[in-house]
Amino acid sequence: MAIRKIIRFPDPCLRRKAEPIADIDEEVRVLAQDLTETMHAAPGIGITAPHIGILRRLVVIQLEAGAEPHISINPEIVWSTPEMIRHMEGSVSMPGVSDEIERHARVRVRYRGLDGVERVEEAEGLMAVCLQHEIDQLDGIFWIDRLSKLKRDRLIKRFEKLQRIRA
């Protein structure tokens, strides 16, 4: 198991659609463990395989330290409530900046676990936000695409300035 290098915005891999995972084998289990360790090191509460440059449909979310990570293979939103909520979001691929994004308050997601069993679960609040955020990433939709052009441009400028300061 290893901490992998997280790719940074504006890497084109962040805008590409991830491929479904057909077989849940040892390679996928190792990838899930590496993603979990990489997410903890970032630190973050959610990460996808595309965040480390691997275009596979794998998501890891862990909202609380010590909780079991929620691992989703090939997740898809099958239902969402019309009610919307706003939440601050950011990305392990764009550290140091965040903004408020509007998302569905509740979603129903179908996915497979590491055991290969298909599940359908409902989520609300922060978990619903995280699932939508990470599934967007699998679809090549980077979180800032949900901002207005003006807010997105300002956020990118802030991020670029932070990168120059850190360099």
pLDDT in tens, 11-68: 999 999 999 999 999 999 999 999 999 999 999 999 999 999 999 999 999 999 889 9
In a domain, 38, yes or no: yes
- Specify if 135 maps to a domain: yes
71: containing domain: 12-166
Residue 166's pLDDT band (cuts 50, 70, 90): confident
**What's the number of domains the chain is made of?**
1
Cβ pair 110, 57 in contact under 8 A: no
The 3-state secondary structure of the chain reads CCCCCCCCCCCHHHHCCCECCCCCCHHHHHHHHHHHHHHHHCCCCEEEHHHHCCCECEEEECCCCCCCCEEEEEEEEEEECCCEEEEEECCCCCCCCCEEEEEECEEEEEEECCCCCEEEEEEEHHHHHHHHHHHHHHCCCCHHHHCCHHHHHHHHHHHHHHHHHHC
- Count H helices and E strands in the chain, helices first: 3, 7
Using DSSP, state whether 101 is helix, strand or coil: strand
pTM exceeds 0.85:
yes
CA distance 3 to 15: 22
| pLDDT tens, residue by residue, 107-134 | 999 999 999 999 999 999 999 999 999 9
Give domain status of residue 6, yes or no: no
pLDDT of residue 167 exceeding 80? no
Identify whether 3 is part of a domain.
no
Which residues are the active-site residues? Answer: 134
CATH number at residue 146: 3.90.45.10
Of 31, 102, 23, the C-alpha closest to 69 is 31
- 103 beta partners: 85
Q: Where are the alpha helices (DSSP H) in 15-148?
A: 26-41, 125-138
Confidence of residue 96 (pLDDT cuts 50, 70, 90): very high
Higher pLDDT among residues 77 and 66, named by residue: 77
Q: In this structure, is residue 2 part of a structural domain?
A: no
For position 95, what pLDDT does the model report?
A: 96
